[in-house]
Amino acid sequence: MTDALLQNAATPVLAIEGLRKSFGALVATDNVSLEVGPGELHALIGPNGAGKSTLITQICGEIRPNAGRILFEGRDVTALRAPARARLGLGRTFQITQLCPDFTAIENVLLSIEARHGGSFDMLSNPRRNAAHLELARNWLDQVGLAAQGDRTVAQLAHGERRQLEIAVALARQPKLLLLDEPMAGMGAEESMSLTRLLQSLKRRYAILLVEHDMDAVFALADRISVLVYGRVVFTGTVEEVREHPEVRAAYLGEDRPC
Amino acid sequence: MRRTLRTMTILLGLALFVAVPPAVDAGGSPALLGLANRILIYAIAAVSLDLIIGYGAMVSFGHAMFFGLGGYTVGIVAYHTFGGEPLLGWSGTNAALIVWPLALLVCALIALVVGALTLRTSGVQFIMITLAFAQMVFFVLVSLQIYGGDDGLMLERRNQLPLIDLAGPQTFYYLCLALLVAWTAICALIVNSRFGLVLQALRQSERRAINLGIRPFPFRLAAFVISAVGTGLAGVLWANYARFVTPDMAAWSKSGEFMAIVVLGGLGTLLGPIAGTAVFIALEQLLSAWTEHWMIVMGPVLTLVALFGRRGIAGRLFGGRRD
């Protein structure tokens, strides 16, 4: 069992090695390598069009890279599809909310719980009547501050509440690694701050890869930051190092985001 | 409140169906029993189709193939049992307890193959490929000369059940009613189960489901097969009701009729399609008595319901939520 031998404490939860993806002439991911250690919150920043979302979709397995490897807890998952990776413990939220709009908030979380328990071919028992799972689902909603909204459908929730629900759904799957794709997108200052507090409380409990434009949030949360420009990681370092780095300032922080 | 209204409507509908035979006995038109029986049979197919269109967003434009296959299995076995030579060394039987499960098995197997091939696609491609398979089945049935080809096949008599005499129109009617109730209850159970939760999640956000570790294909295939078996049951009952099967049972226009009924009744409601069947068949009966171009009226009605009727008849009655 070489897999078991490799999994010592130093094994990063996620390791990307030389990942490359091109669409025709456009190289969206250009030889990207990065690591997320156990309990680490690694932020990924970069201007629009830098290839952050393309990278995330490769990590979760929705699209395949042209070259390179993705290791999850030391295991090569490059060939696995998205559902298999999710079952290994890779959870994500989406930049554009992906929830079941006709379901209530609690049903969305229940779906996640049922998916985790497998054997979903059960055609007899109603998960909405499973007291233990309902209790769990309420707990997750409570954690993200949606305790009072459980019985409202997603269509009835405010934008910020949907973003919170995204996180509850991802957490209920009990992942080992969380990929958060711009969780603050479209949120007001107030909502961003409460979400930052929520992420703060999740830190250390999960390895997290956070893609975010809100620099206040990134600087407040991140252990390390990688800067992605035109598909390349131009720099990886601590918050202070990134603040000071001239290339980063020039490439991203110093100028307005290109549209 | 809404729940009470729903329960009341179910009980009222059930009472109406139960009351048809006594009403006919009490001097109503005998044609009424036949009309109500046709509604019951079509409703089983409509509920089945709703399971995949309404809950799984798999818009099958070929479901009549299972209606036809169910019917033809009954017809072909009957043909060999009464008069024809043995079928692959089997002299046939008229026992419903053998023939009907056999017909459903045929539908399930064909659905397994058709589903495995068509469910690689979605949206418009899925609609077109299911239609193509149904057309294949249709033309195979047309080309079966020993089973009547274009003209179809007459059945000597209805299948036999122990204790129940299917030859009696009222008995047969009540059996159809019982099967409709049972099948709808089974579908409701499925829809509200863990499996149903996943199926509906796949309709609403496939990406979310996939990223929770759910593989869409097995769920869709299972739902497709279940739906095909239900539609096959309707075909079995139709063959016994009419004692006559024709390739038209599997025609694309029949698939379209089933779809129209489901839309009229309300997608993703199960009960809606039953009401939709009643309205559709009753309208068809009324309008075709008035003019043979009854589709001129039915067409616009369907268009209006599709455009403005929020989730069809059931949506009007019970509001928007799918459950």
CB distance B154 to B83 below 8 Å: no
Compute, in degrees rounded to 10, the torsion defined by CA atoms B19, B25, B31, B34: 50
CB distance A156 to B223 below 8 Å: no
Q: Which CATH class is domain B2-13+31-318?
A: mainly alpha
User: Which of B197, B222, B322 is opposite residue A111, by nearest beta carbon?
Assistant: B197
User: What are residue A49's phi and psi, to 5 degrees?
Assistant: 85, 5
Q: Residue B249: how many CA atoms within 13 Å on its side-chain side?
A: 35
Compute, in degrees rounded to 10, the torsion defined by CA atoms B188, B192, B198, B200: 60
Question: What pLDDT shows up at residue A1?
Answer: 41
Residue with the bigger pLDDT between A120 and B41: it is B41
Question: What pLDDT shows up at residue B314?
Answer: 77
Rounded to the nearest angstrom, the gap between the alpha carbon of residue A131 and the centroid of all alpha carbons in its chain is 29
Question: What pLDDT shows up at residue B319?
Answer: 61
Mean pLDDT of B21-27: 88
Interface of A with B in 16-75 (CB under 8 A): 60, 62
Predicted ipTM of the assembly: 0.87
Does the distance separating the beta carbons of A121 and B218 come in below 8 Å? yes
Does the distance separating the beta carbons of B193 and A126 come in below 8 Å? yes
Asked whether the predicted pLDDT for residue B64 surpasses 60, the reply is yes
Closest residue of A to B204, CA-based?
Answer: A100
User: Which of A60, A91, A120 is opposite residue B194, by nearest beta carbon?
Assistant: A120
Asked whether the predicted pLDDT for residue B282 surpasses 70, the reply is yes
Sign of CA dihedral B315, B318, B321, B323: negative
Mean pLDDT of B54-65: 94
Question: What pLDDT shows up at residue A2?
Answer: 46
- Which residues on chain B are in Cβ contact (under 8 Å) with A112? 212
Residue with the bigger pLDDT between B93 and B281: it is B281
User: Which of A102, A110, A121 is opposite residue B222, by nearest beta carbon?
Assistant: A121
Residue of A98, A163, A181 best to disrupt the B interface, most CBs of B under 10 A:
A98
Residue with the bigger pLDDT between B229 and B308: it is B229
In order, the DSSP letters of B84-101 are: SPPBTTB----BHHHHHH
Question: What pLDDT shows up at residue B165?
Answer: 87
Asked whether the predicted pLDDT for residue A16 surpasses 50, the reply is yes
pLDDT above 90 as % of chain A: 57
Spatial separation of the C-alpha atoms in residues B281 and B278, rounded to whole Å: 5
pLDDT digits (tens, 9 = 90+) for A229-239: 888 898 899 98
Q: Average model confidence (pLDDT) for chain A?
A: 87
* Residue B45 in tokens: 């197919």
Domains of chain A: residue spans and CATH:
1-89+176-193+206-259 (3.40.50.300), 100-174 (no CATH)
pLDDT digits (tens, 9 = 90+) for A154-181: 999 998 899 999 999 999 999 999 999 9
Contacts of B3 (CB under 8 A, 6+ apart): none
The residue ranges of every structural domain in chain B are 2-13+31-318
pLDDT above 70 as % of chain B: 98
Spatial separation of the C-alpha atoms in residues B109 and B97, rounded to whole Å: 19
Does the distance separating the beta carbons of A83 and B214 come in below 8 Å? yes
